[in-house]
């Protein structure tokens, strides 16, 4: 991938400034968020090395290590470019060009350090690097793979030793970036690290990330391309995935608008109605901790509204796509329903664990789950989407999964608060509507 194109894509997918505005705190400025994000991702790179070192005996060709590192290196490089943009450099290319310029200076330095470095290379190797550096700096279209190959020529160690060097130096560089968080007196007392410009630090980070990639035979062009695809998948581009049943006969489509009533028939039991007809069996929490899970069918409604997908709801409404036996079996069958229940249960567990720590003073029933303003971890989105591989809903974007979770729990909280209510499911608007149980609503009539 062209470095210029990658830098532009990072800028387009950058949500750091937006997040800082949402936080509305003086300390939540974009630069500090980017520094913390980069430090976190560098830690993830080192963690991936550690885990695979232990599990795979340090084998650099491990496919598990390669797959994990590709993603972690991509995320770390994204933050490095994002921080360069926030730093106000003339161009995001500066962190790579500056690093090549720095390496040229080191190799040609006549002082003791330069001499010691040159001892590790032959005259031919030094000359080849210098010529390659000049060509890189003047080349009009530079790719990340160009930089990766050129920078790796200056590696002073190899294999496992280089891997450990990269892990150690990335830790130091991370600490260097975070020195700015220290108050003045702490900076005076913590003098082990020399102050260097952000441009130089980011360039060195890029070098060591690419060195790790080279050791694992990872193509940085591929890493950058997949990283941008992932960033775009989470960014709300306003282009929702087309409804999966749009080509099915109308009677086999999920209605584009319909209403579902949740009636509490006892203190711990709820029934669901479509018009005057009850759908399914009465629901209870079926859990020793009373957390209101009996209302969780609203999450199925959110899946239908936002993702255009809910095999469980199709079964309740008896609208399976019988026009195509393969679709009926693969998308509307029992396995798909199990997948949806698994996804909902996993998300609910994650939400409940986070709420327990964020709101320890509230009862499990009253704790808000993924309310507006609380981050939904990207790791969770990756997990739940990954669970749907092989099913039509896998085509939906990360931002749609996030919206489905957010919308479902918004109304879930209202149902718990009011002990029931009527939920309008709007597949056209990709949202849910809520009416409390004591307010009259128009009769149920599905709209296609």
Query: Is residue 227 classed as helix, strand or coil in its secondary structure?
Result: helix
What is the sign, positive or negative, of the torsion defined by CA atoms of 40, 45, 46, 47?
Answer: positive
pLDDT at residue 187, as a whole number = 67
Q: What is the dihedral of CA 295, 298, 300, 304, to 10 degrees?
A: 170
Question: How many residues are present in the chain?
Answer: 448
pLDDT at residue 60, as a whole number = 52
Query: Is residue 90 classed as helix, strand or coil in its secondary structure?
Result: coil
Whether the CB-CB separation of 333 and 258 falls below 8 Å is answered with no
Q: DSSP code of 89?
A: -
Whether the CB-CB separation of 146 and 139 falls below 8 Å is answered with yes
The residue whose two tokens read 């775009």 is 232
pLDDT at residue 25, as a whole number = 46
Whether the CB-CB separation of 177 and 95 falls below 8 Å is answered with no
Residues of the chain under the 70 pLDDT cut:
17-28, 52-65, 89-93, 186-195, 440-446, 448
Whether the CB-CB separation of 393 and 366 falls below 8 Å is answered with no
pLDDT at residue 194, as a whole number = 65
**SS3 string of 124-184?**
HHHHHHHHHHHHHHHCCCCEHHHHHHHHHCCCCCCHHHHHHHHHHHHHHHHHHHHHHHCCH
The residue whose two tokens read 């390659």 is 132
Query: CA-CA distances (angstroms) from residue 447 to 29, 298, 307, 312, 428?
Result: 46, 19, 18, 20, 11
- CA distance linking residue 352 with residue 363, whole number of Å: 11
- CA distance linking residue 415 with residue 369, whole number of Å: 13
Predicted TM-score (pTM) of this structure: 0.71
pLDDT at residue 91, as a whole number = 61
List the end-to-end C-alpha distance of the chain, in Å, as a whole number: 44
Element spanning 250, H or E = none
Q: DSSP code of 428?
A: T
Q: How many CA atoms within 13 Å lie on the side-chain side of 328? A: 10
pLDDT at residue 27, as a whole number = 53
The residue whose two tokens read 């279209």 is 141
């Amino acid at each position: 991938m062209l470095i210029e194109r990658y830098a532009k894509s990072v800028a387009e997918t950058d949500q750091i400034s937006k997040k800082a505005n949402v936080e509305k705190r003086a300390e939540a400025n974009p630069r500090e968020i980017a520094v913390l994000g980069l430090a976190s991702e560098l830690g993830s790179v080192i963690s991936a090395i550690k885990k695979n070192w232990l599990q795979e005996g340090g084998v650099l060709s491990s496919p598990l290590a390669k797959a994990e590192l590709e993603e972690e290196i991509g995320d770390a490089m994204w933050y490095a470019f994002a921080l360069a943009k926030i730093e106000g450099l003339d161009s995001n290319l500066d962190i790579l060009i500056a690093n090549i310029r720095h390496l040229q200076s080191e190799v040609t330095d006549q002082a003791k350090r330069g001499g010691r470095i040159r001892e590790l290379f032959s005259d031919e190797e030094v000359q080849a690097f210098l010529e390659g550096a000049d060509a890189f700096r003047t080349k009009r279209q530079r790719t990340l793979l160009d930089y990766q190959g050129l920078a790796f020529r200056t590696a002073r160690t190899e294999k496992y030793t280089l891997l450990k060097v990269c892990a150690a130096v990335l830790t130091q560089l991370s600490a260097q970036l975070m020195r700015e968080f220290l108050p003045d007196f702490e900076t005076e007392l913590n003098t082990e690290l020399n102050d260097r410009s952000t441009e130089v630090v980011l360039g060195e980070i890029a070098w060591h990330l690419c060195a790790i990639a080279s050791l694992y035979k990872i193509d940085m062009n591929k890493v950058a391309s997949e990283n941008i695809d992932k960033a775009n998948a989470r960014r709300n581009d306003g282009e929702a995935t087309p409804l999966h049943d749009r080509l099915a006969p109308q009677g086999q489509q999920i209605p584009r608008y319909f209403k579902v009533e949740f009636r509490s028939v006892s203190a711990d039991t709820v029934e669901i109605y479509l018009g005057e007809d009850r759908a399914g069996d009465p629901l209870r929490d079926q859990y020793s901790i009373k957390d209101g899970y009996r209302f969780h069918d609203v999450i199925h409604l959110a899946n239908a509204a936002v993702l255009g997908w809910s095999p469980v709801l199709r079964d309740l409404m008896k609208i399976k796509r019988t026009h195509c036996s393969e679709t009926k079996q693969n998308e509307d069958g029992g396995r798909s329903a199990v997948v949806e229940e698994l996804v909902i249960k996993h998300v609910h567990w994650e939400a409940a664990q986070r709420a327990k720590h964020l709101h320890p003073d509230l009862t499990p029933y009253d704790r808000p789950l993924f309310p507006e303003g609380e981050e939904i971890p990207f790791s969770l989105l990756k997990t739940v989407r990954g669970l749907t591989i092989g099913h039509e809903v896998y085509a939906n974007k990360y931002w749609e999964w996030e919206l489905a979770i957010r919308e479902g729990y918004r109304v879930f909280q209202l149902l718990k608060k009011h002990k029931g209510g009527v939920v309008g499911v709007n597949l056209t608007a990709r949202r849910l509507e809520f009416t409390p149980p004591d307010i009259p609503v128009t009769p149920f009539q599905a709209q296609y």
